[in-house]
């Protein structure tokens, strides 16, 4: 058979990690129709195993600062947490009757293998060795569990010494199946119980091998320059799925004939696809996505909200659920439409910022240098309309730096804001900020801005950034006595005399302006750092004033 999709009605589950998140996915056995089942932003999926008797997936995931075992099935697509221990629980494997799960846990001194019923009850410890034991695979007859362990080389400084072992399903009669100086890992039993597939670096690189169940007759299946790992045998015994990729790079899912032959690549995703697990034949209900109501115009917002709430892609969201969302971090996600965010009425923190430095144009303007951004421009958020935020009166933090916002009026009622950040070349009038008297941290920018007078009454400000504007007049800032960190870089400032009244200043950035005279800064009592690079300073400023500042122990960057 040369086509893995032609040998039966199967799906393959796998993990997929990409920039900004990761999750659990399923696809057809030929690699077609990949579909997300669970996505995480603040979490991670590690190991997974398909139940041999139904459309249920067991997996380990890092959620709420801990790694535990979860289940999800095609009936309701709800994640169910089976373990909740402050130690690590991972690497689940099913008994052939689907009644038990064996897994690895660090709840003892080191990593040992445990078993529990599929509802999480009747926990039993199966191993107790001086090394680390990692769960692998239950034999088809239910009598044996294959696993990897360094018990006979525990403490090896080079990390070598992991071998494949087998034990009775009650933890007795442990038998060593491999013995070498390599790392032998990820054992999985063939459907007939005669063979075990595993990954090993015994020849220098990680390749896929098979051996008889007693450890004899070892055969190498793959021979590549990549790291081949995580093998899983198809239920009909014809194929072995595994992940392959460079050790420090992205990986994809491949299958290879169990009898030997050429590998077939199934995925070609941006990011890493790994840890494949075959469905039992016909038991592959993760095909028809149930219809759910979408509250949000942008899929990235929906994904983040579901992640925050612990809701799978196929669980219904309602307005009560949305009231539980208090924080969203959505930087550089390609979001253009905030439609639906108005339902997040308890939202306190929203971050939609992009990042790129400024560069000086030939005409003297400071403009965004998108070519130096850490993320491609096509991934930038491009929000113009922030009207969905108008009713989110509990917002305390709002960041939409480098979004092309045109109108600030939706901010007028957000009087609880303590932190605000924006940069837009489409905004000229910032007078609508006048009512935001609780602001403590404000960062703004955009070439059309030339008047800071709306900031004059913001007496609670402790940090202020104004960048890339046409601002020249700093007199509106004279009453901001609590400001300790002030960044006025890349504007059109010539006169800094107004800053002499800001006695609370500790750090001052004035890069990229038109300043010649810095004598007003000499009397600032608490200043510790001043940035002056890219200013046409006078000779007196360079020869007299900068040395005077440095004499006081002040760091001057010029």
- Most confident range, picked from 106-110, 138-142, 280-284: 138-142
Work out whether the CA dihedral 416, 419, 421, 427 comes out positive or negative.
Answer: positive
Please indicate whether the domains covering 12-278 and 327-557 agree at the CATH topology level: no
**Average pLDDT score over residue span 351-379:** 80
CA distance 530 to 558: 9
What does the pLDDT average to over 393-417?
96
Phi-psi region at 390: left, alpha or beta (left = phi > 0; alpha = psi -120 to 50): alpha
Question: Which residue is listed with tokens 């592959």?
Answer: 284
Please answer whether residues 163 and 179 qualify as being in contact, where contact means their C-beta atoms are separated by less than 8 angstroms. Answer: yes
pLDDT at position 289 = 55
Q: Measured between alpha carbons, how far is 317 from 395 in angstroms, rounded to an integer?
A: 22
pLDDT at res. 66: 86
Angstrom distance (rounded) from CA 490 to CA 513: 6
Nearest to 375 by CA among 331, 425, 426, 330: 331
In the chain, what are the domain boundaries? 12-278, 327-557
Which has more confidence, 454 or 75? 454
**Tokens encoding 484:** 């300790």
- Please tell me the predicted confidence (pLDDT) of residue 155: 47
Q: What tokens were used for 532?
A: 């002056």
Helix boundaries (H) for 442-530: none
374, with CB counted inside 10 A (0-12, 13-18, 19+), is: exposed
pLDDT band at residue 267 using 50, 70 and 90 as cut-offs: very high
Question: Which residues have a Cβ under 8 Å from the Cβ of 51 and sit 6 or more positions away?
Answer: 57, 58, 94, 98, 118, 280, 283
| Residues linked to residue 240 through DSSP beta bridges, in sequence order | 233, 256
Amino acid 201: pLDDT = 94
Query: If one looks up domain 327-557 in CATH, what number appears?
Result: 3.80.10.10
Q: What is the pLDDT of residues 363-373, one digit of tens each?
A: 777 777 777 77
CATH of the domain spanning 12-278, picked from 2.120.10.30, 3.20.20.70, 2.60.40.10, 1.10.357.10: 2.120.10.30
**Integer CA distances (angstroms), 216 to 149, 209, 212, 213, 291, in order:** 18, 12, 5, 7, 51
pLDDT score for 8: 64
pLDDT attached to residue 486: 98
pLDDT band at 227 (very low <50, low <70, confident <90, very high): very high
Question: Token digits for 419?
Answer: 């932190």
Q: What is the DSSP letter of 303?
A: H
Tens digits of residue pLDDT in 295-352: 899 988 988 898 788 776 656 788 888 999 999 999 999 999 999 999 999 999 999 9
Q: Tokens 């144009």 — which residue?
A: 361
- What tokens were used for 297? 């115009």
pLDDT above 70 covers a percentage of the chain that reads 92
Q: What is the pLDDT of residues 37-51, one digit of tens each?
A: 777 655 678 889 999
Predicted TM-score (pTM) of the model is 0.61
pLDDT at 2 > cutoff 90: no
What mean pLDDT is predicted for residues 144-168? Answer: 82
Residue 546, pLDDT > 90, answer yes
Q: What integer best gives the mean pLDDT of the chain?
A: 90
Output the pLDDT for position 313: 63
Tokens of residue 333, six digits: 């996600």
**DSSP secondary structure letters along 89-105:** EEEEEE-TTSSEEEEEE
Token representation of residue 127: 């191993």
pLDDT tens-digit series, residues 477-528: 999 999 999 999 999 999 999 999 999 999 999 999 999 999 999 999 999 9
pLDDT above 60: residue 14:
yes
């Amino acid at each position: 058979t040369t086509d893995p999709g032609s040998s039966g009605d199967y799906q393959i589950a796998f993990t997929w990690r990409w920039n900004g998140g990761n999750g659990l996915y399923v696809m057809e056995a030929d690699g077609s129709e990949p579909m997300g089942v669970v996505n995480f932003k603040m979490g991670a999926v590690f190991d997974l195993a398909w139940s041999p008797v139904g459309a249920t997936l067991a997996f380990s995931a890092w959620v709420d600062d801990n790694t535990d075992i979860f289940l999800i099935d095609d009936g309701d697509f709800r994640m169910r947490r089976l373990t909740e221990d402050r130690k690590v629980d991972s690497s689940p494997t099913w008994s052939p009757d689907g009644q038990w799960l064996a897994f690895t846990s660090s709840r003892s001194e080191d990593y040992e293998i445990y078993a529990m019923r599929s509802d999480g009850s009747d926990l039993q410890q199966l191993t107790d060795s001086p090394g680390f034991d990692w769960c692998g695979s239950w034999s088809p007859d239910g009598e044996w569990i294959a696993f990897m362990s360094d018990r006979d080389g525990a403490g090896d400084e080079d990390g070598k010494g992991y071998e494949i072992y087998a034990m009775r399903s009650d933890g007795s009669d442990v038998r060593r199946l491999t013995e070498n100086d390599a790392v032998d890992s990820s054992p999985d039993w063939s459907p007939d119980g005669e063979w075990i597939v595993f990954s090993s670096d015994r020849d220098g690189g990680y390749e896929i091998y098979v051996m008889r169940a007693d450890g004899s007759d070892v055969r190498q299946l793959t021979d590549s320059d990549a790291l081949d790992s995580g093998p899983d045998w198809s239920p009909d015994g014809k194929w072995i799925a595994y992940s392959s990729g460079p050790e420090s790079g992205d990986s994809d899912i491949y299958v290879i004939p169990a009898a030997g032959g050429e590998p077939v690549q199934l995925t070609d995703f941006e990011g890493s696809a790994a840890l494949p697990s075959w469905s039992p034949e016909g038991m592959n209900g993760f095909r028809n996505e149930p219809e759910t109501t979408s509250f949000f115009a942008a899929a990235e917002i929906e994904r983040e909200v579901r992640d925050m709430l612990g809701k799978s892609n196929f669980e219904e969201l309602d307005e009560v659920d949305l009231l539980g969302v208090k924080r969203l971090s959505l930087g550089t996600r390609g979001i253009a439409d905030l439609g639906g965010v108005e339902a997040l009425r308890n939202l306190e923190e929203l971050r939609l910022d992009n990042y790129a430095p400024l560069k000086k144009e030939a005409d003297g303007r400071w403009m965004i240098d998108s070519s130096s951004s850490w993320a491609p421009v096509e991934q930038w958020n491009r929000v113009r309309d922030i009207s969905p935020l108008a009713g989110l009166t509990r917002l305390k933090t709002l960041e939409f730096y480098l979004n092309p916002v045109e109108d600030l009026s939706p901010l007028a009622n957000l009087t609880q804001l303590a932190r605000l950040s924006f940069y837009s070349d489409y905004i000229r009038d910032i007078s609508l900020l006048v009512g935001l008297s609780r602001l403590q941290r404000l960062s703004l920018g955009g070439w059309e801005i030339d008047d800071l007078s709306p900031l004059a009454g913001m007496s609670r400000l402790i940090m202020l950034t104004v960048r890339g504007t046409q601002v020249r007049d700093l007199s509106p800032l004279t009453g901001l006595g609590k400001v300790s960190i002030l960044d006025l870089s890349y504007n059109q400032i010539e006169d800094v005399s107004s800053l002499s009244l800001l006695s609370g200043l500790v750090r001052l950035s004035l890069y990229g302006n038109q300043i010649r005279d810095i004598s007003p800064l000499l009397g600032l009592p608490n200043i510790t750092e001043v940035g002056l690079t890219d200013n046409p300073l006078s000779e007196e400023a360079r020869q007299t004033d900068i040395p005077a500042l440095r004499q006081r122990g002040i760091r001057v960057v010029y």
